[in-house]
């Protein structure tokens, strides 16, 4: 058997079978692993001679090899170890001494004999021929036991508690402990594989839903879950995983009465006649456990034919203070389901959160093992269990009396809870009792090692999940895939002909030789013997292979593919790594480059994983270079077409004409009670019927913020400023980008600043910068042409030429606002000094440029990656400005629909004009008069652009925009119903 990877897999498969069939013990298994990994000469010679033999012959030879291995001397350490993370030695009966090595050789020999007898007995049953001498010995043993009367052997059922155990019962208990260890480990290790479901090229909502059900099954051992979100005293929102459906249900008196009986932040069991359970789909669950927290009632169900075991986390959560783990998982299930239904999601972010949740449950799972061991031991002994919280525990001796002449104590310590078993009449001078103690200790310490391994793996996995430059495949010692750091990039997949299907994870068919082509497999198998990293070049791409060895034992291997990153950013970071200091300008440039790099990666993955985004209005927010299409006609043709159509120029008129503006006197304005609505997100400009009422909104916002007095704004100048802005907003008769939109964005920015003032970040934007933000938001779209930047660039408009295709309209809006402010009659900044005016102008330009749609993802990433001590007024002002521009989309559904209708009118006009002029037509502007087509476009816009923007800002504002998020979610569901109806009509 040569030492290529296939041989590794075959060898470990064989010794696992030997262990499972009890033909070798744990120590023998370890000896084989270590000697094989270190290439022990005698073992290698045996395996090389048996290279072509069948598995049975290899097993037989391995057992003979073990019989010839010198017996190792194992000393049992008696030193008491009282650490927070490990079990103590047994607290022995006071003053009693015994020889721990007395029974070692006899027991070991008998174990080997039993396993050999079992092995040859199985061969005889299968009709195989065995050595005549071995057969003679086997027959003598059979005769010996046949002659022994079964009536002389005491029945296990006749043994009293505390009596000496016979070998059958002892063996049975050891097997049960071993089985308990395997069950708990298997249950809580499986969550680490669940992330593989997220690594396909396309991840749908159904994938996320399946993942969440599997996660709740692994961590809570439940079959389905439900939750009630308490919205008010009259209504609740109900979700059931059985139907994967959310619905509004009335909150009647019986529900309210039952709700008052629920303990908060405690796990409890529902009664069969529960009013809450009566609202669920008519399924007779055998048991349902609940958790009431944050105005949400979570319910976890087990099927009718399978009751939750006594040792499951839900049943022991209160005793061992595991409520935080269950609460975090519950909120994760709730938020992920809600968000995945209404927002495009990042699979890697979900995988990252699953690792965090899972590792907390792995830590808690030690208590599940403790409970299982307690139940197993209690079958034979009288046993007491005591749990105490460490914040109340001063010393072991004060709280738990560990010395006793008639009992043995076993103490398990954790950072939060200390558990103690008191086992009555356990006599450690008896071989059976000594072995039972050793097994308890062995399996618990082994499980603690498993927990530590999970922590290490989790940290390792999280590093690679967050890496954009490396792709890692990790395999276990049998060659099955354990971990994949991210969806496989198309280029790597193509170069190495990688085959990956996440649906195969449960059938253990995701092995290295099925994922990689034969060329990569050969490289892996040929180079693994050196026990160190090897760099292979294949198709001019690089990948590395790593053999995992822990404590001289082979644990598996990893294959890492690296995508090379070149350029200025990488070189600068080399300077940082070498200890060279960089000045602030260089650091700022590095940060900008990194944000742009991260943005491009994000956008590419978004389009790759969600192709429908390209045909929605969300594509309007992609980086501009991805949107400008090749012009299909010559420049002369374009100019002629412009002249024929007599397109309106977008330059500012030299003289304002107030023919349509109603006369009014600003001095007549004063604050009134109804002005409180201006401080609310529910404000609706469409409810105002006159222009004077709309002008008054601008005045009220400046008045409420104190800007009129603080900056000594003359009322005559303010009146002229508002007139000028209204005229330039409405001069092109745009359905959407008009005076109403300008005031709405200003009011939204005012609302966001009011919410900011109530948070711990209130001092980031001072009064002067807030004034800049109010005027910026008011003028952010003034003079809008009703077309997009792409149209301006493709048409070679005067504005595109003036601003060199860079943020064409945004620069125009900023310039026009400044130009109005420079006019002596409309200059509201007349009392600012020169430095203040320069700062005002600089801030206004930056704010308005932040509304450039093609910079959306860069702005989002910049704000997302802010430092913990964030205090950047410019970035925050820009983000408020950008989010305020989506003010209409965040309104309640009926109002949001009206704003959508207006902007889609502009898109339809542009699409028609582009066709007439021969310009490239934008796909998302086509057929918007068809309801389900417009609905699809709006869904993409809300899911990809608006909702993530609001979600990030709401988090920053300490969850003060939850109502906005709820509005957006309702609107998405409204559009989805229209899409569904349209698709049904087409069928």
Residues 6+ apart with CB under 8 A from 263: 292
List the catalytic residue out of 119, 695, 737, 856: 737
The H-or-E segment that residue 549 falls in is strand 541-550
Residues 6+ apart with CB under 8 A from 98: 428, 429
Q: Centre a 10 Å sphere on the Cβ of residue 110 and count the other Cβ atoms it contains.
A: 12
Could you tell me how far CA 746 lies from the centroid of its own chain?
35
Q: Looking up tokens 């002596």, which residue turns up?
A: 824
CB-based burial of residue 804 (10 Å sphere; 0-12 exposed, 13-18 middle, 19+ buried)? exposed
Tell me the C-alpha distance between 924 and 709, whole Å.
47
Annotated binding-site residue? 812:
no
DSSP, res 391: G
**Please, are residues 879 and 850 in contact by the beta-carbon 8 Å criterion?**
yes
Ordered strands of the 417-424 beta sheet? 383-389, 417-424, 407-413
Tell me the C-alpha distance between 395 and 388, whole Å.
11
List residues bridging with 537 in a β-sheet: 542
- Six-digit token pair at 157? 């059922």
- Six-digit token pair at 537? 């070049």
**Please, are residues 113 and 138 in contact by the beta-carbon 8 Å criterion?**
no
Residues 6+ apart with CB under 8 A from 52: none
- Six-digit token pair at 174? 């050891």
The C-alpha angle with vertex 247 and arms to 241 and 251, in degrees rounded to 5, equals 110
The H-or-E segment that residue 974 falls in is helix 962-986
Q: How far is CA 889 from CA 252, 342, 784, 961, in A?
A: 33, 14, 19, 13
Is-catalytic flag, 695?
A: no
The H-or-E segment that residue 690 falls in is none
Beta-strand pair 267-269/383-389: unpaired
Using only the alpha carbons of the chain, give its radius of gyration: 36
Q: How far is CA 887 from CA 729, 756, 874, 967, in A?
A: 18, 16, 20, 11
Q: List b or e across 889-898, with b for residues whose CB sees 16 or more CB atoms inside 10 angstroms.
A: bbbbbebbbe
- Six-digit token pair at 789? 């930047």
Annotated binding-site residue? 679:
no
Torsion of Cα atoms, 712 then 714 then 715 then 717, to 10°: -130
**Please, are residues 202 and 502 in contact by the beta-carbon 8 Å criterion?**
no
- Six-digit token pair at 511? 């092995």
Tell me the C-alpha distance between 788 and 924, whole Å.
13
Annotated binding-site residue? 781:
yes
Length of the chain: 987
Annotated binding-site residue? 780:
yes
Tell me the C-alpha distance between 522 and 513, whole Å.
9
Tell me the C-alpha distance between 900 and 883, whole Å.
16
Tell me the C-alpha distance between 822 and 855, whole Å.
28
Tell me the C-alpha distance between 282 and 285, whole Å.
9
Binding-site members are 741, 780-781, 885
Q: Catalytic residues, which ones?
A: 737
Binding-site members for Zn(2+) are 741, 780-781, 885
């Amino acid at each position: 058997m040569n030492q290529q990877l296939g041989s590794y897999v075959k060898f470990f498969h064989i010794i696992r079978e030997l262990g499972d069939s009890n033909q070798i013990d744990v120590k023998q298994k370890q000896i084989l692993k270590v000697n094989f990994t270190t290439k022990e000469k005698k073992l290698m010679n045996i395996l090389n001679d048996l290279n072509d033999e069948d598995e049975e012959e290899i097993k037989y030879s391995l057992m003979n090899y073990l019989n010839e291995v010198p017996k190792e001397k194992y000393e049992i350490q008696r030193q008491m170890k009282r650490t927070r993370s490990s079990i103590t030695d047994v607290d022995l009966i006071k003053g009693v001494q015994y020889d721990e090595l007395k029974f070692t050789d006899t027991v070991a020999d008998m174990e080997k004999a039993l396993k050999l007898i079992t092995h040859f007995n199985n061969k005889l049953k299968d009709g195989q021929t065995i050595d005549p001498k071995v057969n003679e010995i086997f027959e003598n043993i059979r005769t010996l036991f046949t002659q022994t009367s079964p009536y002389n052997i005491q029945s296990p059922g006749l043994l009293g508690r505390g009596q000496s155990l016979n070998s059958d019962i002892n063996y049975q208990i050891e097997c049960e402990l071993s089985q308990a260890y395997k069950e708990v480990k298997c249950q809580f290790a499986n969550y680490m594989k669940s992330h593989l479901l997220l690594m396909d090229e396309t991840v749908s909502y159904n994938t996320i839903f399946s993942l969440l059900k599997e996660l709740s099954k692994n961590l809570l051992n439940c079959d389905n879950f439900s939750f009630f979100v308490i919205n008010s005293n009259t209504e609740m929102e109900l979700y059931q995983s059985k139907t994967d459906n959310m619905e509004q249900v009335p909150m009647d008196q019986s529900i309210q009465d039952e709700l008052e009986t629920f303990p908060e932040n405690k796990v409890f069991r529902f009664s069969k006649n529960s009013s809450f359970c009566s609202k669920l789909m008519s399924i007779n669950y055998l048991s349902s456990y609940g958790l009431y927290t944050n105005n949400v009632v979570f319910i976890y169900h087990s099927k009718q034919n399978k009751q939750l075991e006594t040792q499951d986390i839900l049943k022991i959560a209160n005793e061992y203070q595991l409520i935080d783990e269950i609460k975090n998982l519950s909120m994760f299930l709730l938020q992920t389901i809600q968000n995945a239904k209404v927002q495009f999601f990042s699979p890697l972010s979900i995988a990252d959160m699953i690792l965090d949740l899972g590792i907390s449950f792995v830590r808690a799972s030690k208590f599940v093992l403790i409970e299982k061991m307690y139940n197993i031991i209690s079958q034979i002994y009288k046993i007491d269990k005591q749990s105490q919280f460490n914040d109340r525990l001063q010393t072991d001796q004060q709280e738990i009396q560990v010395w006793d002449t008639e009992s043995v104590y076993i103490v398990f310590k954790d950072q939060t809870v200390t558990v103690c078993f008191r086992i009555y009449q356990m006599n450690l001078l008896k071989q059976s009792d000594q072995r039972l103690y050793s097994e308890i200790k062995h399996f618990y310490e082994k499980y603690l090692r498993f927990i530590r391994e999970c922590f290490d793996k989790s940290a390792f996995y999280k590093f690679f999940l967050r890496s954009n430059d490396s792709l890692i495949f990790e395999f276990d010692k049998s060659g099955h895939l354990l971990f994949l750091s991210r969806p496989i990039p198309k280029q790597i997949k193509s170069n190495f002909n990688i085959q990956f299907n996440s649906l195969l994870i449960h059938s253990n068919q995701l092995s290295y030789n099925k994922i990689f082509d034969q060329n990569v497999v050969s490289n892996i198998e040929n180079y693994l013997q050196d026990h160190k990293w090897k760099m292979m070049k294949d198709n001019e791409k690089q990948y590395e292979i790593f053999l995992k060895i822990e404590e001289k034992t082979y644990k598996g291997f990893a294959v890492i593919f690296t995508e090379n990153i070149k350029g200025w950013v990488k070189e600068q970071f080399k300077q940082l790594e070498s200890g060279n200091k960089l000045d602030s300008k260089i650091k700022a440039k590095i940060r900008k480059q990194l944000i742009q790099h991260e943005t491009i990666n994000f956008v590419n993955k978004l389009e790759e994983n969600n192709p429908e985004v390209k045909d929605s209005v969300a594509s309007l927010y992609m980086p501009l270079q991805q949107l400008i299409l090749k012009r299909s006609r010559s420049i002369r043709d374009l100019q002629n077409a412009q002249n024929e159509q007599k397109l309106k120029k977008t330059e500012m008129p030299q003289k304002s004409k107030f023919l349509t503006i109603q006369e009014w006197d600003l001095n007549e304005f004063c604050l009134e009670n109804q002005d409180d609505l201006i401080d609310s997100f529910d404000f609706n400009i469409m409810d105002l019927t006159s222009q004077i009422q709309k002008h008054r909104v601008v005045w009220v916002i400046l008045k409420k913020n104190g800007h009129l007095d603080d900056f000594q704004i003359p009322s005559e100048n303010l009146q002229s400023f508002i007139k000028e802005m209204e005229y330039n907003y409405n001069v092109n008769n745009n359905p959407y980008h008009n005076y109403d939109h300008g005031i709405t964005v200003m009011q939204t920015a005012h609302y966001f600043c009011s919410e900011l003032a109530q948070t711990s970040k209130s001092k980031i934007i001072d009064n002067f910068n807030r004034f800049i933000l109010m005027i910026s938001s008011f003028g952010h779209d003034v003079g809008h042409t009703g077309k997009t930047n792409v149209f301006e660039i493709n048409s070679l408009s005067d504005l595109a030429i003036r601003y060199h295709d860079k943020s064409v309209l945004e620069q125009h809006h900023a310039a026009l606002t400044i130009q109005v402010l420079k006019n002596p009659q409309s200059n509201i900044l007349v009392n600012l000094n020169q430095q203040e005016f320069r700062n005002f102008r600089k801030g206004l330009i930056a704010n308005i440029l932040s509304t450039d749609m093609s910079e959306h993802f860069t702005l989002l990433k910049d704000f997302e990656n802010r430092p913990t001590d964030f205090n950047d007024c410019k970035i925050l002002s820009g983000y408020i400005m950008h989010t305020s521009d989506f003010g209409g989309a965040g309104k309640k559904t009926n109002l949001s629909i009206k704003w959508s209708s207006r902007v889609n009118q502009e898109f339809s006009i542009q699409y028609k004009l582009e066709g007439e002029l021969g310009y490239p037509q934008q796909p998302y502007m086509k057929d918007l008069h068809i309801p389900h087509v417009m609905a699809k476009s709006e869904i993409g816009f809300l899911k990809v652009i608006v909702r993530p923007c609001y979600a990030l800002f709401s988090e920053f504002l300490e969850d003060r925009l939850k109502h906005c998020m709820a509005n957006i979610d309702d609107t998405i569901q409204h559009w989805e119903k229209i899409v569904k109806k349209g698709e049904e009509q087409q069928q």
